[in-house]
């Protein structure tokens, strides 16, 4: 019998191995990549309910994005502007096995799992910047079931612009630092409840021409302080609570006339605000419960009392308490000769309802001018003793009676007269004449109803939220001298 040597035994084994190598692999598919056509868009409104402007992520001819898939693909692409709020382009190297894709701002971590990039990622570009180059977004998850896909962007960051000025026109040394700090520890930047602005060469501006600083921040509801420092001064300004909404740019008016400077509180602004008005000045739950209200209404966007002109004055501009709002929907300044005082209690019957106001806003006349109420003009009767004034059914007499009664009942209170949009003709002129006689400030809104080039400030005969905001700002600006 012939025995095989080890060298001979190797030959069949080599043959088997070579055959195995030549055979195709069983069931294993090679992973391939593909190119994907993508379209990103935004459906967010250009302004939000607070009037903040949406940051235009697609402003320009192109936008750079990173992308990631659920299989771990990573890549970058330049998307080209196709139209307003729409960019398109090609993503290369997407795995054939990938089922979901995300696009996001370069520099962000890619998503882990089927969710967009969260706003709190540590690698987010949140450096302070006057140009908001750090404003970040992610797309919503995009299905890769087609070769041409589309998705919506989801803003991740917000931005603030501090408009710094002094309404009193005082000169300030150049600003050396500005810090915005959340009082409750809310994060404004990654890991920090405060953010410091780059303010090199910035000076305090004047009313109507502020100096502006900008920064990218995390979305939040901000409650805190803004500290402006320069040579010889530290001014701490405390704005009211405000929402910093993702994707939007919030302008904050930093009026150093309202700031605490070197530990001294601001002087002059009211501490307790009283309101006497008609329907425009009402809000259910804030005025006395037996007074008729107009706001809130289902067809109007004034959904909180802080959105009314007087609510904005109290919470945003003057930062004061509300004394009493005595307003009554449908009421006249003068008594209605047909119904007396029970149905629509006139201003002349509400002159003693305040507590301890240091400012009273007198806003009426719209219902008096409506001829069906039967309220005539009357006389400018300035000299008749107050206790002998009984011609309450005439507008001029009643308006004078109201002012004199308020001055008697609340001698330290400042009175501000408002001439409403619809208080026209002799009635509006009468308010102006009476205010000037008593040397009272008045703010005139005649002819400012839906003016082309301005906001549409009325829905029917009553201001919407934009209208109230416009009124508040104008009243604040035109009465600053009263408190300086």
pLDDT digits (tens, 9 = 90+) for 200-251: 778 998 877 888 888 888 899 999 999 999 999 999 998 878 899 999 999 8
User: Under CATH, which number does the domain 158-261 receive?
Assistant: 2.60.40
User: Under CATH, which number does the domain 272-483 receive?
Assistant: 3.40.50.1110
Q: Do domains 33-155 and 158-261 have the same CATH topology?
A: yes
pLDDT digits (tens, 9 = 90+) for 156-189: 889 998 999 987 778 899 999 999 999 999 988 8
Domain boundaries, the chain: 33-155, 158-261, 272-483
Residue-level pLDDT at 189: 82
pLDDT digits (tens, 9 = 90+) for 302-324: 999 999 999 999 988 887 889 99
Instruction: Quickly state the pLDDT bin for 281 (edges 50, 70, 90).
Output: very high
Mean pLDDT along residues 33-55: 88
Per-residue pLDDT for 17 more than 70? no
* DSSP track, 260-312: EETTBPP-SS-SEEEEEESGGG--TTTS-TTS----S-TTSS--SGGGSHHHH
Rounded CA separation 474/319 (Å): 16
* Higher per-residue pLDDT: 364 or 17: 364
Per-residue pLDDT for 441 more than 80? yes
164 three-state secondary structure:
strand
Angle of helix 425-437 relative to helix 395-409, nearest 10 degrees? 30
Rounded CA separation 124/122 (Å): 6
- CATH domain 33-155 topology: Immunoglobulin-like (2.60.40)
Q: How far is CA 361 from CA 73, 327, 423, 470, 484, in A?
A: 64, 10, 16, 16, 18
Residue-level pLDDT at 143: 92
Instruction: Quickly state the pLDDT bin for 113 (edges 50, 70, 90).
Output: very low
Do 309 and 468 touch, CB atoms closer than 8 A?
A: yes
Instruction: Record the pTM.
Output: 0.54
């Amino acid at each position: 019998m012939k025995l095989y040597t080890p060298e001979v035994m190797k030959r069949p084994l080599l043959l088997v191995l070579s055959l195995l190598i030549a055979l195709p692999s069983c069931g294993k598919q090679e992973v391939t990549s593909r190119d994907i056509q993508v379209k990103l868009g935004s459906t967010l409104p250009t302004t939000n309910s607070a009037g903040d402007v949406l940051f235009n992520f697609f402003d320009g001819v192109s936008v750079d994005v990173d992308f990631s898939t659920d299989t771990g693909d990573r890549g970058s692409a330049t998307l080209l502007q196709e139209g307003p709020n729409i960019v398109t382009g090609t993503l290369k190297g997407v795995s054939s096995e990938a089922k979901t894709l995300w696009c996001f701002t370069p520099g962000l971590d890619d998503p882990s799992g089927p969710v967009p990039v969260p706003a709190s990622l540590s690698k987010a570009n949140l450096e302070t910047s006057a140009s908001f180059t750090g404003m970040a977004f992610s797309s919503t998850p995009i299905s890769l079931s087609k070769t041409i896909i589309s998705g919506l962007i989801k803003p991740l960051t917000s931005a603030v612009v501090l408009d710094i000025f002094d309404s009193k026109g005082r000169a300030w040394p150049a600003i050396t630092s500005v810090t915005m700090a959340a009082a409750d520890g809310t994060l404004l930047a990654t890991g920090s409840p405060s953010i410091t602005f780059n303010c090199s060469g910035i000076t305090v501006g004047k009313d109507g021409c502020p100096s502006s600083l900008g920064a990218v921040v995390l979305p939040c509801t901000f409650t805190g302080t803004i500290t402006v420092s320069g040579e010889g001064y530290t001014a701490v300004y405390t704005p009211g609570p405000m929402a910093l909404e993702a994707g939007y740019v919030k302008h904050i008016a930093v009026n150093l006339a309202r700031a605490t400077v070197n530990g001294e509180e601001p002087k002059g602004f009211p501490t307790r605000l009283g309101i006497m008005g008609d329907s425009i000045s009402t809000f259910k739950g804030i005025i006395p419960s037996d007074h008729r209200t107009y706001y809130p209404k289902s067809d109007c966007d004034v959904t909180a009392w802080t959105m009314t002109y007087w609510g904005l004055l109290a919470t945003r501009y003057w930062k004061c308490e509300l004394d009493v709002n005595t307003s009554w929907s449908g009421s006249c300044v003068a008594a209605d000769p047909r119904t007396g005082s029970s149905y629509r209690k006139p201003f002349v019957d509400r002159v003693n309802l305040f507590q301890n106001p240091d400012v009273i806003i007198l806003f009426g006349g719209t219902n008096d001018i409506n001829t069906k109420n039967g309220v005539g003009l009357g006389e400018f009767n300035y000299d008749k003793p107050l206790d002998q004034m009984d011609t309450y059914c005439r507008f001029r007499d009643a308006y004078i009676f109201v002012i004199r009664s308020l001055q008697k009942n609340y001698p330290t209170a400042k009175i501000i007269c408002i001439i409403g949009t619809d208080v026209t003709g002799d009635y509006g002129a009468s308010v102006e004449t009476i205010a000037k006689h008593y040397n009272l400030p008045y703010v005139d809104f005649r002819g400012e109803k839906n003016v082309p080039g301005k906001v549409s400030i009325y829905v029917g005969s009553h201001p919407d939220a934009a209208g109230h905001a416009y009124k508040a700002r104008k009243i604040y600006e035109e009465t600053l001298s009263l408190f300086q």
